[in-house]
Amino acid sequence: MKIICSKSDLLKGVNIVMKAVPSKTTMKILECILIDASAGKIKFTANDMELGIETVVEGRIESRGIVALDAKLFSEIIRKLPDSDVTIESDEKRNTHIICEKAKFNIMGKEGEDFPNLTMIEKNERVIISQFTLKEVIRQTLFSIAVNESNKIMTGELFEISDNELKVVALDGHRIAIRNIELKDSYGSKKVIVPGKTLNEISKILSGETEDFVQIYFTQNHIMFEFDQTIVVSRLIEGNYFRIDHMISSDYETKVTINKKEMLDCIDRAALMVKEGDKKPIVISIDDEVMELKINSQIGSMDEIIDIKKEGKDIMIGFNPKFLMDSLRVIDDEDIDIYYVNSKAPCFIRDEKETYIYLILPVNFVA
């Protein structure tokens, strides 16, 4: 095999597929990037058997072939080469030369035929969504998934398609994030749980352009995202997702309309009074047309008042400040509506059309 590519194109391809190279594995071949120039295109592939990524790299094929190279070593070599054309050539024994200007590397590759193929997915059922929308949906929900694997379902997000609507849900036992998206076309009903790791890696690759689209394909056990000459195949999380409908209430005793930036900045300042790992709540008191936010800790205290519009009863309620900030940061609206039931029930941050809903459980506090 002999191929010639620019360093920038190689680096782009390496950066995309490296996201599917496992940090630890007993299968040495999985520590490699597969370079496949056997069929008229240069393809880079990485696969950790849960997540697989394949992307096409621009370049010229001088002679066809296939080789698997150690991903970490190969990526570091490409990263540190001069900004020029790079020649990659491997012989029948997988001895591989990487040449760029006066720099010459010689590394041993592995049999490309030993590299596990990505799971084949028939392109029957597909959903089309803009890259911008998918990237935004991931950004606006992913922070609510669980980070530990005590309940694997919580480490993924529900993708539920019904007619022309896509609902994405994430929860970790303390909060829920929901985004409802209107799709351009109608589709059959589908409900799958996509690993958070997969969505996190995809969001890093997506261009985020409104004119660029992602095609999503489903099987019983896998999901595939296809965009920009890149394919991402992921195993789905098995099991039934939580029934969230009964957790979401339209009833409330208090409704507050507030400037989002003012509230976010205030909580951010209050959080200075909390040491890392400390679980001091921020206490919110709603009285007439003001919201008072207080926090007391071993470091000190903070107290601030924000003007609001209020409907309903006065209320005093405590929250984990991080959970409030995580939700506020991903909302793009200038003013937001927050709904409270009582000091023991979750609050809801949602817009009028319910394109987004954020549920946050309160915490106990000493008044």
Domain boundaries, the chain: 2-114, 126-245, 249-360
Residue pLDDT, tens place only, 254-297:
999 999 999 999 999 999 998 877 888 999 999 989 999 999 99
Residue pLDDT, tens place only, 46-88:
999 999 999 999 999 999 999 999 999 999 999 999 999 999 9
Confidence at 367, pLDDT banded by 50, 70, 90: low
Q: Looking at 38-52, 247-261, 265-279, 337-351, which range is the least confident one?
A: 265-279
pLDDT recorded at residue 66: 97
Superfamily grouping for domain 2-114: DNA Polymerase III, subunit A, domain 2 (3.10.150.10)
pLDDT recorded at residue 125: 79
Average pLDDT score over residue span 209-230: 94
| CATH class held by domain 126-245 | alpha beta
**Exposed/middle/buried for 117, CB within 10 Å: 0-12, 13-18, 19+?**
exposed
Same fold, 2-114 and 126-245: yes
pLDDT recorded at residue 39: 94
First to last CA, the chain: 72
Question: Which CATH architecture fits 249-360?
Answer: Roll (3.10)
Give the predicted TM-score (pTM) of the model: 0.94
- Segments of 32-155 assigned E as strands: 32-36, 42-47, 51-57, 60-63, 66-70, 85-90, 95-100, 103-108, 110-111, 126-130
pLDDT recorded at residue 292: 97
Residue pLDDT, tens place only, 176-195:
999 999 999 999 999 999 99
The four Cα atoms 113, 114, 118, 121 give a dihedral, to 10 degrees, of: 70
Residue pLDDT, tens place only, 80-138:
999 999 999 999 999 999 999 999 999 999 999 999 999 989 888 789 999 999 999 99
Mean pLDDT of the chain: 95
